[in-house]
Amino acid sequence: MKTMKRKYIILLVLTAFFAACTDKFEDYNIDKKNPAIVTGEALFSNAQKDLVDQISSTNVNLNVWKLFAQYWTETTYTDEANYDIVNRSIPDLTYREYYRGFLRDFQEATRLITESEPASAVGETEKTNKLAIIELLVCYSYQQLVDIFGDIPYSQAMNIDVIDPAYDDAASIYTDLISRINAALTALDDSEGSFGSADLVYGGDVTAWKKFGNSLKLKLGISLADVSEGVAEATVLSAITGGVFESNGDNALFGYQLASPNYNPLYEDLIASGRKDFVAANTIIDIMDDLADPRLAAYFTMVDTSTEAGMEKLAYVGGTYGESSPYSLYSHIADPIQAADFDGIIMTYDEVLFYLAEAAARGWAVGATDEELYNAAITASFEFWGLSSDDADDYLTTPDVAWATAAGDWREKIGTQAWIAFYTRGLEGYTSWRRLDYPVLNIPPAVDNYSEIPLRFTYPVNEQTLNKANWQTASQNIGGDLVSTPLFWDTVQPVR
């Protein structure tokens, strides 16, 4: 009996001991740097950063748009400036960044926030706002994917049970995105907040997101102008009524920081890496220099072109696009753009104004003339880059810039100035060139004629092997999986 009693006492003591120490033992099993439970808000923040990282990056494995737009050219390895996207499997890596990266995080953030149970009516409104804001960035991401590839997996893309998703028609995706943006805008209630500090773009400001949503709708609408004018005009006018960007204070910017891992990828690629891979392309330098554009100083550095010792002669000089261009001989990217905390750019006021100028030039009633909006867009660009309104006024009186005297029709005037303003936004500059066909780009050595400058990315090689049937169908539907196949909204091909 004494032995049995002693066993019971020992058991009780051990039970009490383990009960008292449970929390401490469990603490040892928690990886505090990699938590098992992540909130929807945290995933949203991460997705925002990953999205802007992809937009901002100039890593040639992930983002070659500053090269395709001929803002920059390469110093040594010139494959990408000659439109080689196969060697580094760039389409595959781009696909991965969008689908497996931030679109997946946006989807999971939506699920977690949807499943949350706010304790008040205010919380419910904030929850609805959060879901609508995520939806706007999802629409923005899909719009970029369409503008890169054409037809893409969409309706089945994020369904984990579908391992071989079908490709949706690009025009139908655009139509659906406009509907989704409209629904998100209807859901947004600016009487309450949303993400607060977890929103790394607008700090949870719902009114700002409304303007962004309408500006995104404007962008989609104007892209349809050459292929479905009625839908395009209605979409643009609806966006204006809803309220688009009204100043540079509305810009959708991501504030990078000075320290890793939160600094701008441009700093990582251009400074921290120690590499000297890029210089200014002669395409943009020559065009801006001919216009005496003062933004050159904000975009690039000058280089000494003197041939006599001790005689300095500074000028902006671009490397011949697509050819090896030694770093020491050509203009570099301006220091502020290479700064660790240079803002990531999602959408800006000048972009919105150029779309409105185009709408006015098409004869749509947007509340101002094409000339007024063109001038306002250029002025907004000057302001964004830290130049004065006087600088902009002087520039706008230059015969080659002024609306009344600049060369060409409205496509050439707006196309050239929008392309200049979109510098650092490679995909937007490249897309503007594809839509409006200006300015005239250079033909790199590996390309035989102007018509061979790419109009899209080919589909990833992985899709050809892992999703072959749907890839074949999509390729047939778009007219061939070729870089020369125009997107559905690109109906006019220039002959140079």
Strands (E) across 163-223 are located at: 167-168
| 445 within a domain of the structure (yes/no) | yes
In a domain, 106, yes or no: yes
Q: Could you read off the pLDDT of 129-168 as tens digits, one per residue?
A: 999 999 999 999 999 999 999 999 999 999 999 999 999 9
Task: Determine, yes or no, domain membership for 20.
Answer: no
Kindly state whether residue 496 falls inside one of the protein's structural domains: no
- Number of domains into which the chain is organized: 1
Spatial distance between the Cα atoms of 439 and 491, rounded to a whole number of angstroms: 17
The residue count for the chain:
496
- The answer to whether the bond into 336 is cis (omega within 30° of 0) is no
Residue 492 forms part of a structural domain: no
Q: Is residue 369 part of a domain?
A: yes
Residue 315, SS3 per DSSP:
strand
With respect to residue 17, please indicate whether it lies within any of the assigned structural domains.
no
326 part of a folded domain: no
Please enumerate in sequence order all residues whose Cβ is within 8 A of that of 300, keeping only pairs 6 or more positions apart, or say none. Answer: 280, 285, 316, 331, 332, 333, 334
Domain holding 413, by residue range, is 40-76+88-266+341-478
Helix (H, G, I), strand (E, B) or coil at 361: helix
What pLDDT does 36 receive? 56
Neighbours of 459 (CB within 10 A): 23
CB 406 within 8 A of CB 400: yes
Q: What are phi and psi of 345, to 5 degrees?
A: -110, 120
pTM of the predicted protein model: 0.92
State yes or no: cis peptide before 294, omega within 30 of 0.
no
- pLDDT value, residue 496: 65
Residue 175 one-letter amino acid:
T
SS3 content of the chain, % helix, strand, coil (to 5): 55, 5, 40
For residue 396, give the CATH number of its domain: 1.25.40.390
Residue ranges of the chain with per-residue pLDDT less than 50: 1-30, 32-33
CA-CA distance, 318 to 89, in Å (whole number)?
28
* Dihedral sign (CA 73, 75, 81, 82): positive
Structure token digits, residue 139: 């629409």
